[in-house]
A and B are shown apart, each in its own frame.
Chain A
Amino acid sequence: MCGIAGIYTKSPALQARLGERLARMLEQLSFRGPDSAGVAFYRDPAPAGSCKVSLCASDPACDWGAVAAELADAFEDASAPRVRASHATIVVAAEAQEVQAWLAAEHPELRRMSAGAAIEIYKQAGPPAEFVRRFGIEELDGSHALGHTRMATESRVTTEHSHPFSTGLDLCLVHNGSLSNHNRLRRKLVREGIQFHTDNDSEVAAGYLTWRLREGASLEQALEGCLQDLDGFYTFAVGTADGFAVLRDPIACKPAVMAETDEWVAIASEYRAIAALPGAEDAVSWEPEPGRVYVWGPTHAAHAAGPDGAAGPASPHGPASPHGPASPHGPAGAARRAGAALVA
């Protein structure tokens, strides 16, 4: 049980302050998630042919400089490490798969938190406020970011058990809820070659997505697969290279609120996290429908289309007050989806 937060920026000004904004959201979500916190920021993309890895060392005296130097030797080049508390990000002039394989072989003691062009995952057990402080989250900029605060249900409170879970290059998952068939599914995924480091149900969901994507499914298809293959209660937010995706299970008991202004699109488990964002009072807000995959990003067209191409679904929240668009129904619903699109 947990808190989810996410911000997708539409303006450069907001990009510069993304970390501050997300930190405020995490603060509001720390009551429902007191055990640990984590974030995935999409920022500072590595050049083509390179990748960025986010690593975590349990040894506080880890010599990141030495690790970076070894990487520079093994591959053409590697940047100096950017260290945040127990984590460091390094840009390496090689494809992510090779770098990850090298790290697994040469430095198994380092936990590989994320890999890709832009993604940086940081996470830690302990109170969210402390995480924000120790990792300097407020300094971070970026195009979009996901955050998570955790209340552990059936697995331990450790850093590995924290979210976000990496589920592929520039892909990560955060989860609010509790799955009920994750143990058998984990065993099946292990046979398929997916690695797990915890007994956490959310990690299984992340592993499931990784597997489906590896086998050629699109992100939308993989998320649709969740509806079939995962049992239990979930609000998932998935960070992608250029945006994020959201899915709620068909029963949809766990909360999810979305909101949008000209500056941002946000998701949170509770509205009060969104209330912490500038312009929230005038935002259009709505709740994602159960059992429906939503994907946001600049590559998706700025209009709503249902699965059969007809006009959008049952309308989202549309305040009839001075604070938002006039009517909840009809074309206003489509306009609200500027910057977002539903999966066809």
Chain B
Amino acid sequence: MAIPDATREALVAFDLESASVRELNQRLHDAGEPQRVRVLGPGGRHSIAVGLNGEHEVEIEGHVGYYCAGMNQLASVLVRGNCGVGVAENMMSGTVTVEGSASQSAAASARGGLLLVHGDASARCAISLKGAEVVVRGDVGHMSAFMAQKGTLVVCGDAGEALGDSLYEARLYVRGEVRSLGADCVEKELREEHAEELAELLERAGVEDASPHEFRRYGSARALYNFHEDNLGSY
């Protein structure tokens, strides 16, 4: 998704220096029709645009705190800055775009929709992922995709230690270096069907400077799926 034109008009402005996050969220929750809102002065505040349920377009001018766009449904949220812990946590659908970087646990347990981070994402990116798509143009930190069950994580940069520890069926694609793999996470062959899936996702995410065959695919070895004494070293 291309970054929306900054000169777009007809956006309602909402300044968090004078109004509260509570008012912003309530207004968006109550709206019967999709809203287009530009949020000013976020100042690292928490829980901005959480629990949205509608095709709203929210543009946030600045840095946000924890859980921005938490449990998002259908809305498009754009953060022109960095975000704190848990951006788009448990997202159900819609799109969240972060122009800056994201702190820990980005897209934690997210079930659907797309999170695009232009900068880096920190530790535990896509932890407990449950079906969403996460694309990070920069690096991700350690323990990313920990216990990721379903969905796709694409990292254009490097991944930190213990990528995909205790991975289930989520698919991981990393273009750069993986510092180390977590328990039960192994490199897998990137076949044509994966290249196609990846190409389609990169295009949807508006990533034009990376091509699928630059990536390596990682997935679960499925050896830890059932308790077995041979796996004791991994517990």
Contacts and interface: CB of A to CB of B under 8 A. Distances in A.
Given a CB threshold of 8 Å, the question of whether A touches B is answered with: yes
Interface of A: 28, 252-253, 255, 257, 270-276, 280-281, 285-287, 289-290, 314-321, 323-324, 328-329
A285 B138 contact: no
26 contacts: A255-B84, A255-B85, A255-B103, A257-B84, A270-B84, A271-B63, A271-B65, A271-B103, A275-B44, A287-B123, A287-B141, A289-B142, A314-B160, A315-B157, A317-B119, A318-B138, A319-B100, A319-B118, A320-B118, A320-B137, A321-B80, A321-B99, A321-B118, A323-B81, A328-B120, A329-B157
B157 A285 contact: no
A324 B63 contact: no
Interface string B16-53: 00000000000000000000000000011110000000
Contact of A319 (B43, B84, B119): B119
Given A270-B84, A271-B82, A328-B101, 10 more contacts: A28-B44, A252-B123, A255-B104, A272-B46, A276-B43, A287-B122, A317-B101, A319-B101, A321-B100, A321-B119
B48 to A, nearest CB: 11
A271 B141 contact: no
Contact of B100 (A28, A255, A276, A320): A320
Contacts of A276: 43
A272 B65 CA distance: 6
In this complex, the interface size class of chain B, counting residues with CB under 8 Å from chain A, is 20 to 34
A286 B139 CA distance: 12
A252 B63 contact: no
A315 B157 CA distance: 10
A314 B119 contact: no
Nearest to A290: B142
Which A-B residue pairs are the 10 nearest by beta carbons?
A272-B44, A319-B100, A317-B101, A275-B44, A271-B44, A321-B99, A328-B138, A275-B43, A320-B118, A287-B122
A285 B82 contact: yes
B169 interface: no
Given A255-B104, A287-B122, A320-B100, A271 B84 contact: yes
